[in-house]
Amino acid sequence: MKYLLTLLLISSLAFSQERKYSFDYRENRTPTGWEKVEISGDVIFHETKYTNTITIVTPDRYEIFYVKSRQLFIKQEVFLITLVDDFWRESSIRLVVKGTLDTVDLYFYSDRVEDKYYRLILKKCE
């Protein structure tokens, strides 16, 4: 019984992974450039064998997005990820890796009026 429990624990840890990043501000895209908005928060990438989610947490919002598809462009170190929320609205993000996974630029695109296009500079939490 001990052996089975240990095996289950190890297999669940092997198939689940969570990475947490934080950001100090958000930059909204405007026709004249980027507008800085003083709002901080966290982005959590959670991956299991069956479900991949990306959660964006700010003081006034908690949004969970489910990963629908993922593409990797190795040469540019860019991930393109298609997401759906609980209301089946699609959006997408572009993750630009800067050397290591310690700093990542997240570009969010959607058809929603309040979140049309913005950028977050993510720093990995320890």
Residue whose structure tokens are 């507008």: 35
Predicted confidence at residue 12, as pLDDT, reads 39
* Lookup: tokens for 100: 């290591």
Kind and range of the H or E run holding 69: strand 61-73
Mean residue pLDDT across the chain = 84
* Residue 126: band (very low, low, confident or very high) from pLDDT cuts 50, 70, 90: confident
Asked if residue 5 has pLDDT above 50, the reply is no
Asked if residue 73 has pLDDT above 50, the reply is yes
CATH architecture of 17-124: Beta Barrel (2.40)
Identify the bridge partners of residue 28 per DSSP, sorted by sequence position.
Answer: 35, 118
Identify the bridge partners of residue 42 per DSSP, sorted by sequence position.
Answer: 22, 57
pLDDT (tens digit per residue) in 12-60: 334 468 999 999 999 999 889 999 999 999 999 999 888 899 999 999 9
* Residue 72: band (very low, low, confident or very high) from pLDDT cuts 50, 70, 90: confident
Q: Show me where the domains of the chain are located.
A: 17-124
Higher per-residue confidence, 85 vs 13? 85
